[in-house]
Amino acid sequence: MPYYTYILASRTKRLYIGVTNDLERRVWEHKTKVFDGFTEKYNVCKLVYYETLNSIRQAIEREKQLKGWLRQKKIALIESTNREWDDMAEDWYPENGDSSLRSE
């Protein structure tokens, strides 16, 4: 089973780093603000980076590593694969669904 370490961003580039075993479901939860918390409060719901790992241990270790980095290093990582900060999950959900799911 794959696991994912991911980075979400707000329109103003506020960052959130998380880990999950179901990236599509977890991003949906962030976009629809299922849970109260940081991402809901600051509207952090645009998937800008993710990595696939082989175990939950590796994914959590990578999450902790990324959280320990300075902001500039996190930005460089994002921009190494997503220079424009596009929402990588933009096309994952139906267009006729909830309009709150669309990127800012």
pLDDT for the residue numbered 20: 98
pLDDT for the residue numbered 50: 98
What fold does the segment set 3-89 form as a domain?
GIY-YIG endonuclease (3.40.1440)
pLDDT for the residue numbered 94: 81
Ranges in the chain, pLDDT < 70: 95-104
pLDDT for the residue numbered 104: 44
Give me the residue spans of the domains in the chain.
3-89
pLDDT for the residue numbered 95: 65
The answer for residues whose C-beta is within 8 angstroms of residue 59's C-beta and 6 or more apart is 3, 4, 5, 19, 53
- Cα–Cα distance for residue pair 52/29, rounded to 1 Å: 19
Q: Which two three-digit tokens encode residue 38? A: 């940081």
pLDDT for the residue numbered 89: 96
Where are any strands of DSSP class E within 11-78?
A: 15-20, 46-53
Q: Which DSSP letter does residue 6 get?
A: E
Q: Whose structure tokens read 């990236």?
A: 23
